[in-house]
Structure 1
Amino acid sequence: MEKKTLGFVLASVGPFFWGSSGTVAQHLFETTNIETLWLVSIRMVVAGALLLIYGALRGVPVGAVFRHAGSAAELVAFSILGMIGTQLTYFMAISAGNAATAAILQSLSPVLIIIFLALRTWSVPSKINVISVVVALLGTVLTITQGDLHSLVLPISAVVWGLLAAVGAAIYTLMPTRQIKTFGATPIVGWSMLIGGAIVFVASRAWQHWPQLDIVGWGEVGFVVVFGTMLAYLFFLQSLEYILPTTASVLGTIEPLSATVLSVIFLGVSFKPLGIIGAALIVSVTLLQFMAARAARFGE
Structure 2
Amino acid sequence: MSVMPLPKPRVSLTLVAAFFALYFIWGSTYLVIRIGVESWPPMLMAGCRFVIAGGLLFAWSLWRGAPLPSAKQWLSAGAIGILLLSGGNGGVTVAEHWGVASGVAALAVATVPLFTLVFGRIFGHRNSLLEWSGIGLGLCGIVLLNLGSNLQGSPAGAALIVFAAASWAFGSVWSKRLPLPAGPMASAVEMLVGGVALLIGSQISGEHLQQMPDVRGWLALGYLVVFGSIIAFSAYIYLLNNVRPAAATSYAFVNPAVAVLLGVLFAGESIGWPEALAMAVIIGAVVLIGLPQWRGRAEG
TM-score range, shorter chain: 0.7 to 0.9
Aligned-pair CA distance for 1:62? 4.8
Counterpart residue number, 1:209: 208
Does 1:117 pair with 2:120?
A: yes
Counterpart residue number, 1:262: 262
CA shift in 2, pair 1:284/1:169, >3 Å? farther
Number of aligned positions between the proteins: 289
Counterpart residue number, 2:57: 51
Larger Rg: 2
Counterpart residue number, 1:166: 165
Question: Larger deviation: 241-250 or 198-207?
Answer: 198-207
Looking at structure 2, the residues matched to 37 and 122 of structure 1 have their Cα atoms a distance apart, in angstroms, of 34
For residue 110 of structure 2, the aligned residue among 86, 92, 107 is: 107
Counterpart residue number, 1:191: 189
Aligned-pair CA distance for 1:36? 0.6
Looking at structure 2, the residues matched to 134 and 254 of structure 1 have their Cα atoms a distance apart, in angstroms, of 21
Does 1:281 pair with 2:281?
A: yes
CA shift in 2, pair 1:236/1:154, >3 Å? farther
What letter is aligned with 2:190?
Answer: S
Counterpart residue number, 1:91: 93
Q: TM-score, normalised by structure 2?
A: 0.85
Q: Secondary structure at the match of 2:242?
A: coil
Counterpart residue number, 1:237: 237
Counterpart residue number, 2:66: 61
Residues 244, 297 of structure 2: 8 Å contact kept? no
Aligned-pair CA distance for 1:224? 1.9
For residue 132 of structure 2, the aligned residue among 130, 133, 152 is: 130
Counterpart residue number, 2:31: 23
Could you report, residue by residue, the CA deviation over 1:210-230 in whole angstroms, capped at 9, with x for unpaired residues? Answer: 451232321122112221222
Q: TM-score, normalised by structure 1?
A: 0.85
What letter is aligned with 1:47?
Answer: A
CA shift in 2, pair 1:222/1:122, >3 Å? closer
Aligned-pair CA distance for 1:2? 4.7
What letter is aligned with 1:197?
Answer: G
Could you report, residue by residue, the CA deviation over 1:77-98 in whole angstroms, capped at 9, with x for unpaired residues? Answer: 2222333121211111222212
CA shift in 2, pair 1:145/1:76, >3 Å? same
Residues 151, 158 of structure 2: 8 Å contact kept? no
Looking at structure 2, the residues matched to 269 and 165 of structure 1 have their Cα atoms a distance apart, in angstroms, of 21
Aligned-pair CA distance for 1:102? 1.3
Using the aligned pairs only, state the percent identity.
21
Aligned-pair CA distance for 1:143? 1.8
Could you report, residue by residue, the CA deviation over 1:189-237 in whole angstroms, capped at 9, with x for unpaired residues? Answer: 1111012212222342399724512323211221122212222212211
Could you report, residue by residue, the CA deviation over 1:28-77 in whole angstroms, capped at 9, with x for unpaired residues? Answer: 334x3x201110110110111122233334x25152x22xx333322222
Aligned-pair CA distance for 1:144? 2.0
Residues 119, 170 of structure 2: 8 Å contact kept? no
Q: Secondary structure at the match of 2:277?
A: helix
Could you report, residue by residue, the CA deviation over 1:252-296 in whole angstroms, capped at 9, with x for unpaired residues? Answer: 432222211111111111112342121122123332222211213
Looking at structure 1, the residues matched to 65 and 114 of structure 2 have their Cα atoms a distance apart, in angstroms, of 34
What letter is aligned with 2:17?
Answer: V
Counterpart residue number, 1:7: 15
Residues 44, 207 of structure 2: 8 Å contact kept? no
Unpaired runs of at least 5, structure 2: 1-8
Looking at structure 1, the residues matched to 176 and 125 of structure 2 have their Cα atoms a distance apart, in angstroms, of 21
Residues 249, 286 of structure 1: 8 Å contact kept? no
CA shift in 2, pair 1:272/1:24, >3 Å? same
Q: Secondary structure at the match of 1:183?
A: coil
Computed over aligned residues only, the root mean square deviation of the Cα atoms, in angstroms, reads 2.7
